[in-house]
Structure 1
Amino acid sequence: MAEEQRRPGGAPGGDGVPGTVLEAVLERVTYANEETGYTIARASPARGGPDLVTVVGPLLGAQVGESLSLTGRWSSHPKYGRQFDVWSYRTVLPATVQGIERYLGSGLVKGVGPKTAAKIVAHFGTATLDVIDADPGRLIEVPGLGPKRTKAIGAAWEEQRAIKEVMVFLQSVDVSTSLAVRVYKQYGDASIGVVKNEPYRLANEVWGIGFKTADAIARAVGVPEDSPERIKAALQYTLSQASDGGHCFLPAPNLVADTVELLALPARLVAAALAELAEAGERVIAEDVPVGDATVPARYLAPFFHAERGLAAGLLALLRTSEDRLGVFGGVDWDKAFAWLRRRTDAELAPEQAEAVRLALTERVAVLTGGPGCGKSFTVSSIVALARAKGAKVMLAAPTGRAAKRLAELTGFEARTLHRMLELRPGGDAAYDRDNPLDVDLLVVDESSMLDTVLANKLVKAVPPGAHLLLVGDVDQLPSVGAGEVLRDLLAAPAIP
């Protein structure tokens, strides 16, 4: 039978060597990842004996019982042995009555088992698949198939065919197999329409697709290079690149100039597109930021704008609340407290260290900073010891696993990464936030120079009113991993002790 469902894509390996073609029938699926399309399956080769072979790779849309033409290469897995790594595949529809009956009764189409398949093929012969594809209503001609079941079979056939049509189209515009799976998972049957008409949505809505990939797809479907949507996507890409360099925003003139350089288009077109984006106020936010005696026309990506504003508001709320979960230290006899510490540690706090201990235990938000060897570690362990001695709930955290381990070693108490403490989920949402805060009286965060604006905002949201937040770090040490220099900005803020 000449009709085929093609699924090209899957370029040869990095060495440029063309792939091997394996003709086989998909017998069973051992594992399938619904998000990525990655599949481990067993297949029966058309040639080469009765033994099944293992095939692995992106096989979204492939169904048990289908005859497949697989392109890829043979490899040897250290644990599972010989397997065929799939780069791409196409479905080869059977041409004989026996092949069509087996294919149709394999479970490919919901509601059609071996017996029903036999009845349908007995009635339509080698034209069976053409009938189901072009005029499924004719299934009513088959004895025993009523209108309801006929409709269900037609719908199931259409669903599995739609997946293949989408995948074929996506890869015809040079979308790789793995990205095509993500696009289909995001948009389903609407994928073709989105890619044809709004390709730059992919950069914002599909993980793993950035501006450059979306731009290549857009050019493949005929989007003009001076399209306003292309320019708007490029502006957002430029801001995203700036955030990777640590910047929460760019001044509007710099943003326009950088995007003009990227696209090689007139500045007036880029400026007009930026004005439209800013006016919409959804993805790009315009704000005049004070710098010295002047203001800068800042342009933010929305997440960084909201994170920056949220962080500032959250810190002020912690500072201004009347609640105090460490209120016991408001009337403590500090001479007795420090004497207790001295007996416990056999060491004396320097005057600056003693003042830092007082601040951390009496102020809702405090920053402890200084270079290597200045005594930050002893100060932190003293703060934690006094808080625990008064029965306070203390949590210790750091941005990285290594820093958390070091913090635990110097204090003698458990420390976790911020991601683990907040239970950050894929996509960035945290289990603990303003509506579900941490149960903590004193939260100590070490290596705070690594805090970026987005993570710091999530952290402050999770601190309950009245709890104390102590940020420890050295701005001249490890830099933030994302946009913003939170610790440096807090050190410059008069409101933060």
Structure 2
Amino acid sequence: MEETPALHSIDGTVDAVIFQNEENGYTVLRLEVGAPEPVTVVGCIPGVAPGEGLTVTGTWGRHASYGEQFKAESVERRVPAGEKAMLEYLSSGVIKGVGAATARRLVEEFGADLFTVLEEQPESLTKIKGITRKRALEIGASFRLQMGMRRLLDFLSANGLPLQLGMPLYRRYGAQALEVLRDNPYLLVDEELGVGFSAADQLALRLGMEGDDPQRLEAGLLFELSHNLMNGHTFLPRRKLLWATGALIGLEDAGPLEDALTTLVERGEVVRESIAGEDACYLAPMQEAEEYVAFRLAEMAAHELLPPAGLDGLIGRIEAEQGITYAPQQRQAV
């Protein structure tokens, strides 16, 4: 059995960003750690720039072409401190509308208060010659985007969630991503994000959500219906749905779950129908899809369907292209 690499932490200041993928946040950077040579750090650290302080937790490894690297699993980021680091950070181009010359004037004008001004009082940037009110607001907006991403990644790291979630969450919710996630951690239970219900539920409880909070109950019900699609079930009987959800979230009293289910039905997210004596509960898109399939089958059954001309030749070409041979019963079914 292969031994799991030990986790280590290193602390330093970003010297240079060698590569950064804007789509997924994958980054290669050099980190000054007080040693003769900087450390190469790789991992998901979107928006990072020279001058930032980082505490990186991860594992050491060796790349066949690039040598020793430190692979980041979690990252704590610190706003650049001191005029030199602030100047280096802003001169990197990480803030739209700010180049090296503008960065120097901003640092000279506002000093240690600069980042507070950028985030909270961007109109004050008009004190700098050549910065109009419009440009000042744009610079402030760009800086807030950077701070939003930084706080989102800090939140993910602190809660043991993959840093790779940062970019898709940011693309979806923008600068409000952290606020949206705090309001509804169950948004993480999404095919694109790939976070399991258990992890999202633990986060919600850690953030102070009560065990019988309606948001938690609704999320549990929707998860059970979605999860059972993988088992071939387009609906679940109401009794089974309530029991399974109660077992999932550790709630024995079905009353609150009944109320949550009623709310989902009223909002149109769940559809209830009587089928063969069962109170069936569907995700709304599944009920709509099932109705459509039934309608199309009925429509097809009402007309005589004739095979297309040259069917045998068509089947032969498909077999040749796909490298298969249909059994006699399969040919007949086609």
TM-score range, shorter chain: 0.7 to 0.9
The one-character-per-residue Cα deviations of 1:353-383 (angstroms, maximum 9, x if unpaired) are xxxxxxxxxxxxxxxxxxxxxxxxxxxxxxx
Q: Which one-letter code corresponds to 1:408 in the other structure?
A: G
| Aligned residues of 1:106 and 1:113 also touching (Cα < 8 A) | yes
Following superposition, the deviation at residue 225 of structure 1 comes to 0.8
Secondary structure of the residue aligned to 1:107 is coil
Q: 2:311 aligned with 1:387, yes or no?
A: yes
How has the CA–CA distance of structure 1 residues 409 and 150 changed in structure 2, closer, same or farther, with 3 Å as cutoff? closer
| Matched residue, 2:21 | 32
Structure 2-normalised TM-score?
Answer: 0.81
- Distance in structure 2 (CA, Å) of the matches to 1:126 and 1:274: 53
Following superposition, the deviation at residue 192 of structure 1 comes to 3.2
How has the CA–CA distance of structure 1 residues 124 and 247 changed in structure 2, closer, same or farther, with 3 Å as cutoff? closer
| Aligned residues of 1:69 and 1:91 also touching (Cα < 8 A) | yes
| Aligned residues of 2:123 and 2:136 also touching (Cα < 8 A) | yes
Q: 2:285 aligned with 1:299, yes or no?
A: no
- Distance in structure 2 (CA, Å) of the matches to 1:445 and 1:243: 29
Q: Which one-letter code corresponds to 2:279 in the other structure?
A: P
Matches within 5 A, 1:65-214: 66-203=52-189, 207-214=193-200
Instruction: Give RMSD over aligned pairs.
Output: 3.5
| Aligned residues of 1:445 and 1:470 also touching (Cα < 8 A) | yes
- Distance in structure 2 (CA, Å) of the matches to 1:193 and 1:306: 33
| Aligned residues of 1:289 and 1:298 also touching (Cα < 8 A) | yes
| Aligned residues of 1:25 and 1:65 also touching (Cα < 8 A) | yes
Length, aligned pairs only: 330
| Matched residue, 2:293 | 311
Q: What percentage of residue pairs aligned between the two structures are identical? A: 30
Following superposition, the deviation at residue 231 of structure 1 comes to 1.6
The structure where helix makes up a greater share of residues is: 2
Following superposition, the deviation at residue 238 of structure 1 comes to 2.4
| Matched residue, 2:9 | 20
| Aligned residues of 2:53 and 2:79 also touching (Cα < 8 A) | yes
How has the CA–CA distance of structure 1 residues 189 and 154 changed in structure 2, closer, same or farther, with 3 Å as cutoff? closer
What are the ranges of 5 or more consecutive residues in structure 2 without an aligned counterpart? none
Secondary structure of the residue aligned to 1:312 is helix
Q: 2:25 aligned with 1:43, yes or no?
A: no
- Distance in structure 1 (CA, Å) of the matches to 2:317 and 2:299: 20
- Distance in structure 1 (CA, Å) of the matches to 2:175 and 2:333: 49
Question: Quick check: which has more Rg, 1 or 2?
Answer: 1
| Structure 1 consecutive aligned stretches of length 4 or more whose deviation exceeds 6 Å | none
What are the ranges of 5 or more consecutive residues in structure 1 without an aligned counterpart? 1-13, 329-385, 398-403, 412-443, 447-468, 473-497
Following superposition, the deviation at residue 107 of structure 1 comes to 0.8
| Aligned residues of 1:396 and 1:445 also touching (Cα < 8 A) | no
- Distance in structure 1 (CA, Å) of the matches to 2:40 and 2:158: 27
Secondary structure of the residue aligned to 1:63 is coil
Match of 2:231 among 245, 257, 268: 245
- Distance in structure 2 (CA, Å) of the matches to 1:149 and 1:184: 23
More moved, 271-280 vs 209-218: 271-280
| Matched residue, 1:289 | 275
Following superposition, the deviation at residue 78 of structure 1 comes to 3.6
| Matched residue, 1:9 | none
| Aligned residues of 1:174 and 1:217 also touching (Cα < 8 A) | no
| Matched residue, 1:276 | 263
Q: Which one-letter code corresponds to 1:273 in the other structure?
A: A
| Aligned residues of 1:40 and 1:54 also touching (Cα < 8 A) | no
The one-character-per-residue Cα deviations of 1:130-165 (angstroms, maximum 9, x if unpaired) are 443443333222334333333332222222112222
Match of 1:410 among 303, 325, 332: 325
